[in-house]
Structure 1
Amino acid sequence: MTSCDTCVVRNRAICSALDSGEITALSRMGRRRRLKASEPLIWEGDDSVLVANVIEGVLKLSTSTEDGREQIVGVVYPSDFIGRPFGATTRHSVTALTDAYVCVFSRGDFDGFAHQHPGLEHKLLQRTLAELDRTRHWMLLLGRKSASEKIASFLLDMSERLNEPGCEAPSGMRDAFDLPFSRQQVADVLGLTIETVSRQFTQLRREGIVDLPSRRAVVIRDRAALEALAG
C-alpha cells in the first residue's frame, strides 16, 4: 500500500484515532482498490466479508424493493467508512457513482484489530452516531419539506461534501461541482418524480440562484437565496 502518511483523508477517516505504529499495522491488513463508475463493491444480502475507507470518489448505498426497483438509501464520500463490521450479512449494496479509490480490509481482520484498539472502536461509535444524525435529518427532509426545499437542501449538501479533499470541484470553487447523480437518481433519493426535479432545477436557473452549464454541472450563484429556500 502507498504510505498512509500521504493519504488525503488520513486526518478525517476512522484511522485518525491511531498512532503511526498502529497505522502501519493496520495498513498491512489492507489493500487499495480502484473502482470505475457503476462498479459494485458490496452486494446486498451477501456475507459481510469486507469493510473500507473511501479515499476518493462518491459511492451509493442502495437496496432493492420487492418488485425489483433500486432505492438509494445513502451516499458515501471521501473519509467515510463503508461496510458492516461485527456483522454477519450486508444490508445494502455499495456501488461507485464516480470513479473511486478505496482502502479495503477483510472484515474479520478489521474486527480483530478494532477489538485490540479501543481508540478505533470509539471512532467507529462516533461515526455510527453521526450516521444516525444524518438519517434523522434525511427523514425530516423527505417527510416534511416541499419539493423546492428538498432540492435546495440537496444541492447545499452536495456543494459541501463534493468539495472536500478527494472530491475536486470542476473549477476549484466551493460553489461549483459535478453531480454524481442522474436526474432520475436525484428523484429517487428525494422521493420525487423526475419531472418535478427537472422543473425545480429549471426554476432555480430561471431565478438566477444556480447555473447549470451541463447535465451534471452545477454552479451556485446565490448561496444565501438557496439557503433561504432550503429553510
Structure 2
Amino acid sequence: MDARVGTKMLDSCTILARPDDEERFPTSVCTDCAVRRDSLCGTLTDAELSRLHRLGRRRRLRRGEAFAWAGEESRGCANVLSGILKVSALTADGREQIVGLLYPSDFVGQPFVGSFEFTVTALGDAEICTFRKSDFEGFLSTRNGMTQALLCRTFDTLSDARRRMLLLGRQSASERIADFLLQTFERIGGCSASSNGPVTFDLPLSRGAIADVLGLTIETVSRQMTKLKVAGVIALPGGRAVTILKRDALRRMTDAA
C-alpha cells in the first residue's frame, strides 16, 4: 500500500481508534494547562472544563504527521498544546502552498463543516487536545461564551487572510521578511534577558517554506535576511535560530508598508 494512502487512512480514524500516541488525561492537566488562558477553553469555568476534558484526548504528532488531509471527512477538531502545525493546499501543478501556521492555543478544525478544506501537518513534534467533532459540536451548542470565542477566532483568521493578501500585493520583499519575523516572534516568543532586549527564537519553517508563504524566492529570502544581519537589525546564530536585535527597526519597516 502506498505510504501516503496508509497514513491518510490511519489519520482519518485516529479520533475514533485511539492509537498508541493518544491517551486520556486527568482533570488536573486541563486545569493547569499552559495554553488554557489563550485557548477556547479560557472561556470555561472549572466545572465546564471538567465536563469538556472527559470528551477529549491528548495526542502526540510526530514531525510530518498529518492531523487532517484536504478533502477528507471532518471527524475531529483540536486545540494545539505545543509545537507548530502548518495549513497547506496543493496547487494545480501539484506543488504545496502553505497558507497558514497554527501555534499553541490555536484551534484546529471546523465544527459543523463536512470536510477539511486544507491539509494540517505537524512541522515538528507537537501535542494536541483532540475531540470527536460530534461531541465538540454538542458541547459547543450549550456554551454561548465558547461559541462567541470561536466566532471571534474565525473573524481573526479571516482578517489574517486579508492581511496576507495585502502583504503579498503591496509590501516589498524586505517588508515581508520584517513582518514575518515580528509575527513569528509574537506568536512563539523567545529567550530574552529583558522586555526590550534582544530576543532569540527558532524559525518554524525552512527558508524555502518561508519563501512559499511570502511569495518570494529562496534566494530573495536569504538575501533579505543577510541584509538585516549586516544592518545590525538581526543576528543569525546558526541553523534556524534568529536573534532580533532591533525590534523597533523591524516595526518601522512594516509600518512603512
Query: Does the alignment reach a TM-score above 0.5?
Result: yes
3-state secondary structure, aligned to 1:11: coil
Which residue, out of 75, 99, 105, partners 1:79? 105
How far the C-alpha of 1:173 sits from its partner, in A, is 6.9
Task: Determine if the alignment matches structure 1 residue 132 to structure 2 residue 158.
Answer: yes
- Cα distance in 2 for partners of 1:61, 1:125 equals 19
3-state secondary structure, aligned to 1:198: helix
- Paired position in structure 2 for 1:204: 228
Q: Can you give the 5+ residue segments of structure 1 that lack an aligned partner in the other structure?
A: 164-168
Task: Determine if the alignment matches structure 1 residue 230 to structure 2 residue 257.
Answer: no
3-state secondary structure, aligned to 1:88: coil
3-state secondary structure, aligned to 2:141: helix
- Cα distance in 2 for partners of 1:10, 1:223 equals 28
Alignment of 1:143-222 (within 5 A): 143-163=169-189, 169=190, 175-222=199-246
What code does the residue aligned with 1:14 have? Answer: L
- Paired position in structure 2 for 1:24: 50
- Cα distance in 1 for partners of 2:64, 2:254 equals 30
Q: Relative to structure 1, is the Cα distance of residues 222 and 63 closer, same or farther in structure 2, using a 3 angstrom cutoff? A: same
Which stretch of structure 1 is more off in the superposition, 18-27 or 172-181?
Answer: 172-181
- Paired position in structure 1 for 2:18: none
3-state secondary structure, aligned to 1:212: strand
Identity %: 50
Q: Which of 1 and 2 has greater Rg?
A: 2
3-state secondary structure, aligned to 2:212: helix
Q: Retained in 2: the 8 A contact 1:170–1:178?
A: no
Q: Can you give the 5+ residue segments of structure 2 that lack an aligned partner in the other structure?
A: 1-24
Q: Relative to structure 1, is the Cα distance of residues 43 and 117 closer, same or farther in structure 2, using a 3 angstrom cutoff? A: same
3-state secondary structure, aligned to 1:205: helix
Count of residue correspondences: 226
Q: Retained in 2: the 8 A contact 1:39–1:95?
A: yes
What code does the residue aligned with 2:224 have? Answer: Q
Task: Determine if the alignment matches structure 1 residue 91 to structure 2 residue 117.
Answer: yes
- Cα distance in 1 for partners of 2:82, 2:194 equals 18
